[in-house]
Structure formats: C-alpha cells, structure tokens
Structure 1
Amino acid sequence: MVSMVGNVLTVVTITTSPLLKCPMYYFLAHLSFIDACYSCVNTPKLIVDSLYEKKTRLFNECMTQIFGEHFFGGADVILLTVMAYDCYAAISKPLYYDESAAMWSAGGSGVGGRLSSWIHSDPLHIQIALFVPKVIDHFMCDLNPLLDLACTDTHNLGLFVAANSGFLCLLNFLLLLGSYVVILNSLRTQSLEARQKALSAYVSHITTIILFFVPCIFVYMRPAATLPIDKAVTVFYTMITPMLNPLIYTLRNDQMKNAIRKLCSRKLISGEI
C-alpha cells in the first residue's frame, strides 16, 4: 500500500504540475510509474499465497511473472543510471546539457527493459518446458529456481543469466557510484550549506541504489543455484526499493512537497465546489 500510494501520488503530482517540463522530475515520474508496476508483479501473488497452505502456480503464469520482473527491473536499472547521468551532466557540464536528449533517454529504459525480459524468458521457456512438478523454494518464480527444476542440462543457460543480468547490474552499479563520486567531488567549490544539503540528498540516493543493486548482484552474479537466503535478499529489490523511492525522492524535495500541497488544495477546493 505504501509503495502504490507513494508512486501513484508522485506520478499524478508531476504530470499535473509544471515540474513535468524539468528533466529530473520527468525521469522521476517514469521511475515512479515503473516502480508501481514492478510492485504489482510479485507482491499481490505473495499476499494471496500467504492465505493458503498449498501454493501452486501454472507454468505460463511463472513465465509471465519472470517477464514482468525483468521488464520492469531492467527498465528500473537503466532509468536509475540515466537519472544519475542527467544529474552529473546538469551539475558538471551545464553548457553541454541537452534536455531533449535527456527526456528521450527515459523512453530508452522501456526498450531496454523489454529486451532484457525477452532475452531471459524466451530461451528459458524453450529449455525447461518439460520439467517434472517440483517445489520451488522461493516466494516467486525466478530464473535460478526454475533452472533447478529443468530436466536438461542448463549449465550454459545459467552462465548466460549470470553474464547478462549479473553483469548488467554490476556495470550500472559501478557507473552510478562513479557518477555520484564525481558529483560530490564537484561540490567542493560550493558553500558549506550547499554541500551539506547535497550530501544529505545523495546519501539517501546512494542508499537506495545499494539496496537495489547489491541484492541483484548477489542473486544473479553467480552460477545458477538457489540458496535459502535468496528469499530474504530478493525482498530488497522487489519490494523495499520500490517502496522507498517515492519517500526518498519526494519527501526530501521541497518542490515536490509544494506541488503535492497545491494538488491537495485543488482537490479540496474542487470537492467543496
């Protein structure tokens, strides 16, 4: 509920205010939309399964869930990286900053997510279409748990998953950390108050990035195998990060808080009329 309300409120606030013209808020609206959709991939089924002792799932339902995970997860990874570059370009190279190019980048995140989900779900469907019924030691369908059920040799497919998902997460994580190091280094010439304000904001952003990328790297940047701790680790990037993003990017931003107040005021006035 916190994730859906926070993300939907962020999307509505930005799209109904002049903030949409600013690339940073344009990206934030896309991020909130993706997070809202990402929260709907696994959490509703988890809630329903918690009400029943026997938890079953059809194969096609599993494949659909994997597609959704990697579609919205891949888009999230790419968009977070684009947002970091946008911030770096706006601060470090303002003379070369191109707002239209920045906004086109948001659309590229969806294309990247679609490509990532297709790369994973299509070969996986071919490889394990004939597995015998077994129990998945997980609360969701994912690549490694399904590979454990395969009747055929999936060693190469497991390496492919590690090389694709794991490497993508690791590369983007390093790019994000590098961009924030450059940004924070460029703030040395600013006033003490400006540095403290920026440091407060970026520490929150870096915390969110660590909560999202480090668990992803742990799960995917290793040979295909399911560990008991995977269930707890997966919670961070599938549930906690989509819930924290609107809190971190919105409640710590004065412009967003003012826009939310104005939106609520308009709704109250409309209701009275």
Structure 2
Amino acid sequence: MQNPARAADRDFILASVHELLVETGEDWDRCTHRLRVLGRADTQGLFRAGHHCRPGDPYGPLLHAWTVLQNTYPCQDTATLHGLEEACLRSADLLPAHPAPWVTLLGLRRRLRRPVLEVFRVWEEAVRRDPWHREAYRQMLRYLSPDECGSKSAALDFVESARARMPANAPAAGLYLAVQTDLYHQALAQQGVHAILARQLWETHSARRALEHGVALWTDPDFLVHVAGPADLNMLAYALVEARRAKQAAEVFRLLDGTVSPWPWRFHGDPVDKFRYWQDLLL
C-alpha cells in the first residue's frame, strides 16, 4: 500500500509542475524547453507515476516521454515507446493549438527510426503550430543526420531550405551553426586523417558565413530572446574556439558570464571543465 504522505508529496509536485507548464501560455518554445529540462531531471520515475495517476493531465504523457527520451531508463522497449506515441496523440487532442505534443511525438518516432515521410508529417504538424520551433527543427536535423536515418546532404538540404525563409532571430536560428558543428564532430569521430583535417571544416565558406553571422548578430544582448538563447551562444563560443577565433570567442564568453550548456562542450568530456578552461584562458 502506498504511503499517504508520499502520495501527497507526489501530487503536490505534479500539480506544481502542471502549473509551471500552463503558465508558459503561448510561448510554445519555452514550454517545450521546460518539458525537456524536467524530463532530464526526473531520474526517479515520478512522471511515469504521474502519467498513470493523472490521466486527464495533457502534460503528463509529454513529461513521461521526455523522461524516457533523455534518461537511461529501464522501460525503453518498443512497446513503451508505442504506448507513449498514443498518449502524445491524446495530448494533441487536448492541446490542439500546442506544438509540444507533436514535438514530443517527433522525438519518439525518431527513436523508433520510423520512415522519413512518417516523421516529416509529424514535424509538419509541429511547425504548422509554431513555424520556427527550435526543438522541432533540432529533432528533425538529428533524424536526417548520417548518424541516424539520413545523410550529410539530407541534413544540409534541410538546413538550407529552412535558412532561406527563417528570421535571423528565430528560436531555430542556430540550425545552420548546429549542422556545421555536427559535421565537425562526425569528422573528429572518424579519427585518422579525417580527424586531423576536421578543423579545416571551419574554413569552408558555409562555416565562415555561419560564424560571422553569429558574431555580427548574436552578440547583441537583446537579439536572441528565446529561452535557449544561452545554449545557442554556447554553441557559437565553442565553434569560435574550435575555429581558433580567440578574440571573437572571448566576446561571447563575456556575454555568457559563466552560463554553460552541456552541448556541444560534452563532446570533449565534462562540459563545465571544457567551458571553464577556455573561458579562463581567453578572459
């Protein structure tokens, strides 16, 4: 029998989390950001329990899904993922204008390696509700990468198509620099001559353009106002470090003022240690 005090604590936490998500209103990007952060933090299975004990809460399945997607979790079998797919579709019925159920479903179908047309249909539902939703574009980019179900050309074509239409300060504005960073990491991971020549990727016309665009616009403190703006600035600082543009990287580190995001620093080990090393060296 469940301890009544523990059940009350769980219900209080779940109600508080629900309010935290509801209060984002129509800031869809912020809501999805909170779902991801909360899901990553739930290592005790609280949201799995909440998904079952609060069946009318449309955010419950989304929290559970992000927990499964981001943690080393005991229930990541195909049946669990299929069940969460159905739950996300029920959340979409309850939140018809919200992209978060579709972005969450996109993450699940990416994990299941579903066919590209099926995945694109889910992505289209998300961006129909929020045209420049950061997580929707990042999930699609990862799916189209050569590490998953796509190729280098598929990822670049997707990014080029989006960049031609995207406002410079959209939440997904970091997409072009993200694909350049992914290509750099893929080259490093191959070792041998590919790893030795990897840094030359930052000297290509497309990479230089992405870096110069970031330095010119993103270093204005009022430019990147979306919730993951600091994560995009971390990506820019990292890319400038790897491209050996120390003076420009120092400018971004000053703007970040010690705010660290795990990616892309974690590619080289502990992200905080890597960030602090370059911050201390450059500043």
Q: TM-score, normalised by structure 1?
A: 0.29
Higher helix proportion? 1
Question: What is the TM-score of this pair, normalised by structure 2?
Answer: 0.29
Report 1 or 2 for greater relative contact order, CA contacts < 8 Å, sequence distance ≥ 6.
Answer: 1
